[in-house]
Structure 1
Amino acid sequence: MKHITIVLLFALIAGATLSGKTSEVYGPEPSLANVAYGPHEKHVLDVWKAESSQPTPVAIYIHGGAWRGRDKIDARGWLDIQALLDAKISVVAISYRLLKDAKEVEPFVKAPMEDAARALQFVRSKAGEWNLDKDRVGLSGVSAGGCTALWLAYHDELAEPQSNDPIARESTRVSCVVVDQAQTSLDPKQVRQWITKASYGAHAFNRKDLDELLENREEVLPWINAYSPYALLTPDDPPTVLSYGAKVMFPDHSEHPFAKVHSAAYGVGLKQRCDELGVPCEMIKAKKRRGQAFTALSDHLIELLK
Structure 2
Amino acid sequence: MSLNPPASFVPAWNPTMKFLSTLCLLLFTAPCLAEDEAAVDQPTAPVRTPLWDGPAPVGGGETESGNAWITVHHPEEANGTAIVICPGGGYGRLVLGGEGHKIAAWLNQHGITGVVLEYRLPGGRHAVPLLDAQRAIRTARANAKDWQLRPDRIGIMGFSAGGHLASTAATHFDSGNPTANDTIDRVSSRPDFAILVYPVVTMGEHTHAGSRDNLLGKDPSSELLNLYSNERQVTDNTPPMFLAHAIDDTPVPIVNSRQLHAALQQHNVPTQMLELPSGGHGLNGYQGPMWDAWQAASLGWLKEID
The 1-side partners of 2:112 and 2:160 are apart by 23
Task: Name the structure 2 match of 1:276.
Answer: 266
The 1-side partners of 2:166 and 2:115 are apart by 13
Task: Name the structure 2 match of 1:90.
Answer: 113
The 1-side partners of 2:295 and 2:69 are apart by 22
Task: Name the structure 2 match of 1:221.
Answer: 222
* SS state at 1:92 partner: strand
**What does residue range 44-63 of structure 1 map to in structure 2 within 5 Å?**
44-52=69-77, 56-63=80-87
How far did 1:80 drift?
Answer: 6.6
CA separation of 1:94 and 1:113: change in aligned 2, threshold 3 A: same
- Kindly tell me the number of residue pairs found equivalent between the two proteins: 243
Q: Is the 8 A contact 2:73 2:115 kept in 1?
A: yes
Could you tell me which runs of 5 or more consecutive residues in structure 2 were left unpaired when the two chains were aligned. Answer: 1-41, 55-64
Q: Deviations over 1:74-102 (max 9, x none)?
A: 445662724x3233221111101114xxx
The 2-side partners of 1:182 and 1:284 are apart by 12
How far did 1:114 drift?
Answer: 1.0
* SS state at 1:262 partner: coil
* SS state at 2:128 partner: helix
How far did 1:168 drift?
Answer: 0.6
**Higher RCO (Cα < 8 Å, 6 or more apart):** 1
1:132 maps onto 2:149 in alignment? yes
Task: Name the structure 2 match of 1:265.
Answer: 255
* SS state at 1:129 partner: coil
The 2-side partners of 1:126 and 1:72 are apart by 23
Q: CA RMSD in A?
A: 3.2
Task: Name the structure 2 match of 1:35.
Answer: 49
Identity %: 21
**What does residue range 153-164 of structure 1 map to in structure 2 within 5 Å?**
153-164=170-181
How far did 1:228 drift?
Answer: 3.0
How far did 1:158 drift?
Answer: 4.7
How far did 1:198 drift?
Answer: 5.9
Q: Deviations over 1:3-62 (max 9, x none)?
A: xxxxxxxxxxxxxxxxxxxxxxxxx9972332111146552111111233x762111101
* SS state at 2:272 partner: strand
TM-score scaled by length of structure 2: 0.68
Larger radius of gyration: 2
**What does residue range 89-128 of structure 1 map to in structure 2 within 5 Å?**
89-99=112-122, 103=123, 108-128=125-145
The 1-side partners of 2:43 and 2:117 are apart by 15
CA separation of 1:123 and 1:116: change in aligned 2, threshold 3 A: same
* SS state at 2:246 partner: coil
The 2-side partners of 1:113 and 1:224 are apart by 15
How far did 1:277 drift?
Answer: 3.0
The 2-side partners of 1:198 and 1:137 are apart by 28
Could you tell me which runs of 5 or more consecutive residues in structure 1 were left unpaired when the two chains were aligned. Answer: 1-27, 214-219, 248-257
The 1-side partners of 2:173 and 2:134 are apart by 12
CA separation of 1:129 and 1:77: change in aligned 2, threshold 3 A: closer
1:149 maps onto 2:166 in alignment? yes
* SS state at 1:116 partner: helix
Task: Name the structure 1 match of 2:215.
Answer: 204
Task: Name the structure 1 match of 2:13.
Answer: none
CA separation of 1:199 and 1:223: change in aligned 2, threshold 3 A: closer
Q: Deviations over 1:114-159 (max 9, x none)?
A: 1111111112222222222211112111111111111111224251
